[in-house]
């Protein structure tokens, strides 16, 4: 070969093209295999289009779900679907009429069938359940929720129980209301009552399972519903805009961050900036069992305009799924002041979370 004509780009282009063709062919093969498995075993109950309607005897007792309904299907992570396909409905507190297939098919094959199920939902505006990371104790999450959360905060004899109700609308939006009931120790004695009620709106700005992240913007208004004279409220409304970001890390790790401001809607009060991060990792008990998520949060807040320093707190905590369906979860932790630790008090934080979309509180145990 004439030296001048020799070029490395030719072989590289050919090599890369072959690799791409091979990857595409492998993906095609997996898709075909997934469809084959689905059409061999799953189709008899779930139907060719994933909507059921084929096994009418079965449906008199328990209708299978509609996999074309993205509002339902996309919020479920693959591991939940795979658990049910492998170990049967009871693995997630569903009917035993959904049989276990783990004895007859490998987990890899069942995963391919689950991937085929994914093709029934065609509106990818609905964020995937994998991006629904474990809720931290203080740091907000980016995923839109259908949840009810009861949060208890206890700090030197003062206890606040906050009832939070969250509801999605459309693929990307959520509104919420939070009602705190406080019991506080004051010089004049103990007072108990409703605190400052908050209303919030959240919108998902971007999400991608490939990138493993989700980003949302929120706005919240805290109303002066708590009696200030009794120590139950601030006595003025506060507007809180903030953004939240969640990123899946390798091996079931995650990081969630939140940055925002609190603007008092009354003269003479300073605005506040806050930033928070939660880093953790989930561990599965057994192959598809209980989910334990230890995490640590770092919280920073600073009053603007006053020249005051930053308040830093650290919150070690843990979340655990309580039932088979994993839609009832408990978390607890301690909020430890790092700066001014001699004057700022530590608090104990606990929440009980119920994802009401997934079923009643007492279902799926
Ligand atoms: C004998 C009928 C039958 C067959 C065959 C069957 N399923 Fe199901 N499946 C059901 C029923 C019934 C439900 C609904 C259970 C419930 O809601 O309690 C269900 C539910 C599911 C769910 C929903 C879990 C959730 O989170 O709501 C998944 C995923 C699933 N099946 C996957 C599969 C796969 C994959 C196959 C094939 C490997 C398969 N099924 C074969 C009857 C069947």
- Determine which residue's CA is closest to atom 43 belonging to ligand 1: 98
Q: How far is the CA of 99 from the centre of ligand 1 (A)?
A: 7
Q: Could you give phi then psi for residue 142, rounded to 5 degrees?
A: -85, -25
Ligand 1 centre to CA of 60 (Å) is 15
Q: DSSP letter string over 42-98? A: IHHHH-TTSS--S-HHHHHH-PPP-TT-HHHHTTS-HHHHHHHHHH-GGGGT--TTS
Ligand 1 atom index nearest CA of 44 = 5
Q: Which residue has its alpha carbon closest to ligand 1 atom 39? A: 42
Name which residue sits closest to atom 32 of ligand 1, judged by CA.
85
Its CATH class, for the domain covering 11-118, is mainly alpha
* pLDDT at residue number 5: 58
User: For residue 27, what pLDDT is reported?
Assistant: 84
Q: How far apart are CA 278 and CA 281, in angstroms?
A: 10
**Tens digit of pLDDT per residue, the chain (365 long)?**
455 555 667 667 777 777 777 788 888 888 899 999 999 999 999 999 999 999 999 999 999 999 999 999 999 999 999 999 999 999 999 999 999 999 999 999 999 999 999 999 999 999 999 999 999 999 999 999 999 999 999 998 899 999 999 999 999 999 999 999 999 998 888 999 999 999 999 999 999 999 999 999 999 999 999 999 898 999 999 999 999 999 999 999 999 999 999 999 999 899 999 999 999 999 999 999 999 999 999 999 999 987 788 999 999 999 999 999 999 999 999 999 999 988 899 999 999 999 999 999 999 99
Rounded Cα gap, residues 75 and 64, in angstroms: 17
Please tell me the CATH code under which domain 129-358 is placed: 2.40.160.40
Q: What is the pLDDT of residue 99?
A: 96
Ligand 1 centroid to 257 CA: how many Å?
36
Residue 6 confidence (pLDDT): 57
Output the ligand 1 site: residues, CB below 6 A.
Answer: 41-42, 44-46, 58, 62, 64-65, 76, 80-81, 84-85, 89, 92, 94-95, 97-99, 101, 110, 113-114
Q: Domain coordinates of the chain in residue numbers?
A: 11-118, 129-358
Q: How far is the CA of 46 from the centre of ligand 1 (A)?
A: 7
State the Cα–Cα distance between residues 164 and 244, nearest whole angstrom: 18
Atom 24, ligand 1: residue with shortest CA distance: 81
Q: Exposed e or buried b for every residue in 335-360, given b needs 16+ CB within 10 A?
A: bbbeeeeeebeebebbbbbbbbebbe
């Amino acid at each position: 070969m004439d030296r001048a004509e020799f070029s490395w780009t030719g072989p590289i282009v050919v090599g890369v093209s072959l690799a791409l063709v091979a990857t595409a062919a492998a993906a095609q093969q997996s898709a075909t295999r997934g469809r084959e498995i689905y059409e061999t075993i799953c189709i008899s109950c779930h139907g060719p289009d994933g909507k059921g309607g084929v096994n009418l005897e079965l449906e008199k007792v328990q209708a299978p779900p509609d996999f074309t309904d993205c509002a339902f299907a996309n919020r479920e992570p693959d591991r939940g679907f795979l658990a049910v396909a492998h170990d049967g409905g009871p693995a997630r507190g569903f009917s035993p009429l959904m049989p276990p297939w783990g004895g007859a098919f490998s987990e890899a094959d069942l995963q391919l069938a689950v991937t085929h199920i994914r093709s029934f939902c065609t509106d990818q505006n609905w964020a995937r359940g994998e991006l629904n990371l474990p809720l931290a104790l203080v740091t907000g999450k980016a995923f839109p929720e259908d949840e009810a959360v009861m949060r208890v905060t206890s700090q030197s004899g003062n206890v606040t129980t906050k009832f939070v109700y969250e509801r999605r609308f459309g693929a990307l939006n959520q509104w919420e209301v939070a009602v705190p009931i406080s019991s506080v120790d004051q010089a004049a004695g103990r007072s108990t009552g409703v605190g400052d009620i908050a209303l919030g709106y959240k919108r998902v700005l971007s999400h991608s399972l490939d990138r493993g992240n989700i980003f949302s913007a929120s706005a919240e208004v805290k109303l002066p519903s708590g009696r200030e004279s009794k120590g139950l409220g601030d006595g003025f409304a506060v507007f809180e805009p903030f953004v939240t970001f969640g990123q899946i890390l390798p091996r079931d790790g995650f990081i969630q961050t939140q940055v925002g401001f609190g603007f008092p809607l009354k003269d003479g009060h300073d605005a506040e900036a806050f930033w928070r991060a939660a880093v953790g990792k989930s561990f599965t008990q057994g192959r598809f069992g209980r989910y334990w998520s230890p995490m640590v949060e770092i919280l920073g807040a600073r009053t603007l305009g006053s020249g005051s320093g930053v308040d830093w707190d650290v919150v070690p905590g843990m979340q655990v799924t309580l039932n088979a369906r994993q839609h009832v979860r408990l978390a607890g932790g301690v909020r430890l002041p790092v700066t001014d630790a001699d004057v700022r008090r530590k608090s104990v934080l606990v929440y009980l979370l119920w994802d009401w979309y997934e079923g009643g509180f007492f279902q799926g145990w």
